[in-house]
Structure 1
């Protein structure tokens, strides 16, 4: 395995890195502004980031004004910073995902350039950037791409330190960088930020019988750096909310991983099938992955440098598949940490077949078809926007006054506060007293769980149906949003002004003075004054 050419000197290497970084960022962000936020995920996470901006509280994530501890804050910090700089636009709400995809891509490029050479690094980066999972995940506003980038960068930094240690070269800076990146991973999505890198590096070193290297990667200064990055937020939240650590780690980590009752139950073969399907047709160029000779020098104490890197990528893919195939609940985004090492294998294993100009063109076309597929998905979502209420939120923004309360009936429309630029939480009307609220993993359970961390705010914001009409009568003008089929349950809506309907969701302007029921209440005579 060749080393990179450094003839251009340090300044040339930095120019290459900066040019590559600009190319990666431009490609990943090229279409990130086209389509509206998709609900529930994008509306939820971009909305939480917006709430940090509007409240000025950058420590406690809130969903509709209630403490929201499903995930840690790194995504909200990054996207919130972008929203502060660029305003409430979609690409800013997706900034954290773009950062994660860029981090993982650049980490793979730099690692490959150092250990495999410039040509291999460029080939690998090209394959990675054209993977549909990376391209779409990099512009989808949820936490999966951010933690995937952190995990990829952590694994490669620690592997870089390990290989340098084995060659008798200075390795501590890379080692400490790996620990810092693991801390960011824990701030991105919790324990998997260091569990998956630890699993990957541990298996990789054990398969190569590198016990001394394993011990060399255990660093007290590294642990201190990791804790300095990751721990302060968790400590601060536990000091503010007594039940935080139990809810975050026991409920949202261990119970979600080990028990049923959550959404998206899939069979154990789900993730291998997803990776294989979305790697076609590039995968058909890689028969050497099944060739014993390809893995020569990868195992045991006499493993070669080339075999060590190949084995690292294989173990990185396998660790992700193994870890996330265990729980019953499976989402496509969970497999994103496997995309970068798989792209490395696709680029490396296909190199032997693409030896003639004709085959190289066919291989390039196969790889490019993945990028075309990703662009087609983005284009389709741009043209078919039935997953978004952006139009309704924009209408509310244009006509809503700051002192007019907003009500959502039996549904929380995640993206509306973002597009309406609401400066205060909405009031959500539902039968919050029924045990069924906590039995399904949906928006009701999310908001009800959040309300338990701030019961005073929950009493103001989570209303039962019988409390809605008195609340409407207490304000001269209110706004109500609900799916159209719910209108018969609330007869007073017939006396309200239906402002706009989008995807069977209607926005009403409710004037208390025009409601017959308000005239019969003690405040009815003054509501419209």
Structure 2
């Protein structure tokens, strides 16, 4: 069923001639988007996102963490166990790491390779929405929704951010659209089995991307939608033993392998990460319940007025799109409510709702076109598009001109002198992204007070490393050390070169490390070299009084 909403209600006339200004070309562009293949729309979106993927360094902690895990897979050849600083990292499933490792292998270790996966996933979300709406709504809905999504500041930012959120959102969206397509095909007596198997396979991939929510959220959306329409028979037909077998075949082998290798894996990965974390309060970015509901209008700032204009217009016009609107409403509300329950609310969690939100904005554009005329609405849409594109461009410019904290400069200095066999010790700090800038970086230790009970009470890099060390205690004991252990290790191997990384005053907190040579300091992080000339002072009975440094002075 394909329904075009191209005629205005009675009393509204369309102009016979149109000046070929920006509004005219925008209207033509949207019409062309509606007629293009969904693959072409996805490729155009990917091109738009890819233009600025490589213009600023990796952001920490998230980009450094997730790209670092993927890079460790690539360098070690072990694609089964995600590792953080050599330790098993089971906070998240492996799919995103696998895809990023493949991207880095094909494109090289650079910013574009690191961020290509979220850009691809954003393009997949847009292409999926376009295909579904073109088939079950109209070309107008497909074209306007694609334009709103590709210009959304939230989606643009997510496509440039190398973490799991965009991958999860694209796969959840794909599950919902495949399930919706299968259900509507059933109701129309048309073939649906390929879409149904695609639903289950994609749910398995979503599980490998984020865990149980990759199944629960799309499943809940489809259940609420079908029961809300009274289509319980269709809901029963969506359940497939063959499909369930496909889902299990995709989702479970990696888990069983990890459980066989690490006996405590299920308890940590399923019970703690999927259930306890959902309700705990000691995590980052606590926000009130309404946070995501307030965020959505900002996510598509330039287009949001069309939604409020729509509310003043006719909402119940008999255009046959009730099932599609119902699916989109179920998707929007399910995602918003589900992620509003936990105290911790990160912006990227709401991305599965961006497609349905864009649909309702597109619906508002089309309805206003029917009442006010296409020319007037397209003139306003030019400004909407301009506002969104300007926000995206400003964000990229800000990242270039005022870069966030990163280890690029530090890594450049370390890479110029680092040799295989050298040791690297972080002093009461940790930089996830350092390995991205120093090829082959190994032998890393982190010095901290690891017996501090406060570490396990809040989300931090300390907690992540401490939890990871429990799966391989022997390696963990060599990696997570205190000051006395560091001193003993250094004294046992006085021929090694040790690189110390910490805050600019970290070394001065220990008298015996005052002699290390400072090579880099950016007021946030510093690098020292500690080699055989300093070992006598480190391991002697009574170190000599510290002498003034003759190397590069800290930037104060």
TM (norm. structure 2) is 0.88
Paired residue for 1:477, among 472, 497, 508? 497
Contact 2:133 2:142 in 1 (8 A): yes
1:520 and 2:535 aligned: no
Find the residue that maps to 1:253 and give its secondary structure.
helix
Q: CA deviation at 1:262?
A: 1.6
3-state SS of 2:321 partner = helix
The CA deviation at 1:515 is: 4.0
**What does 1:313-392 align with in structure 2 at a 5 Å threshold?**
313-354=328-369, 355-392=373-410
Task: Report if the CA contact (8 A) 1:72-1:188 is conserved.
Answer: yes
Show the counterpart of 2:212: 191
Which residue does the alignment assign to 1:488?
Answer: 508
For 1:518 and 1:410, the matched residues in 2 are separated by 19
What are the within-5 Å matches in structure 2 for residues 206-225 of structure 1? 206-225=227-246
Unaligned runs of 5+ in 1: 5-12, 298-303, 522-529
Provide the C-alpha distance between the structure 1 equivalents of 2:355 and 2:39, rounded to a whole number of angstroms: 20
Query: 1:480-506, CA deviations, whole angstroms, 9 ceiling, x for partnerless residues?
Result: 100113232122332111111134211
1:306 to 299, 317, 321: 321
Q: Answer whether contact 2:115 2:161 (CA < 8 A) is retained.
A: yes
Q: Please give the per-residue CA displacement for 1:158-214, whole angstroms capped at 9, x wherever unaligned.
A: 100000000000101001101111111101111110111011111111111111111
Structure 2 Cα separation of the partners of residues 330 and 218 of structure 1: 32
Asked if residue 113 in structure 1 is aligned to residue 128 in structure 2, the reply is no
Unaligned runs of 5+ in 2: 5-33, 542-556
Q: Provide the residue aligned with 2:71 in structure 1.
A: 50
Aligned mates of 1:252, 1:503 — CA distance in 2: 36
Pick which of 92-101 and 225-234 moved more: 92-101
- Shifted more, 423-432 versus 444-453: the winner is 423-432
CA offset digits 1:450-481 (Å, max 9, x no partner): 00000011011111111222333424311110
Deviations 1:343-365 (CA, angstroms, capped at 9, x unpaired):
11111122222424233121132
SS in 1 for 2:367: coil
What is the CA distance between 1:516 and its match in structure 2? 4.1
Distance in 1, Cα, partners of 2:428 & 2:308 = 53
Deviation at 1:382, TM superposition (A): 1.8
The aligned residue for residue 226 of structure 1 is 247
Following superposition of structure 1 onto structure 2, how do residues 154-165 of structure 1 map, counting pairs within 5 Å? 154-165=175-186
* 1:288 positional shift: 5.6
For the aligned residues, what is the CA RMSD? Answer: 2.0
Q: Secondary structure at the match of 1:47?
A: helix
Whole-angstrom CA distance in 2 between matches of 1:55 and 1:361 = 55
Q: 2:114 aligns with which of 79, 88, 93?
A: 93
Alignment of 1:370-449 (within 5 A): 370-449=388-467
SS in 2 for 1:84: helix
Report how many aligned residue pairs link the two structures. Answer: 508
Partner of 1:239, secondary structure, is helix
What is the distance in 1 between the residues matched to 2:441 and 2:244?
40
Contact 2:42/2:124 (<8 A) preserved: no
Matches of 1:375 and 1:388, distance apart in 2: 21
CA distance change for structure 1 residues 345 and 251 in 2, over 3 Å: closer, same or farther? same
- Say which one has the larger Rg: 2
CA contact (8 A) 1:513 1:519 kept: no
Classify the secondary structure of the residue corresponding to 2:230: coil
Aligned pairs for 1:69-148 (under 5 A) are 69-148=90-169
Distance, in Å, in 1 between the alignment partners of 2:227 and 2:309 is: 24
Q: TM-score, normalised by structure 1?
A: 0.92
Provide closer, same or farther for how the CA distance between residues 292 and 126 of structure 1 changes in structure 2, counting only shifts above 3 A: closer
Answering whether residue 257 of structure 2 is matched by residue 236 of structure 1, we say yes
Change (3 A) 1:24 1:96: same
CA contact (8 A) 1:409 1:480 kept: yes
Q: What is the match of residue 9 of structure 1? A: none
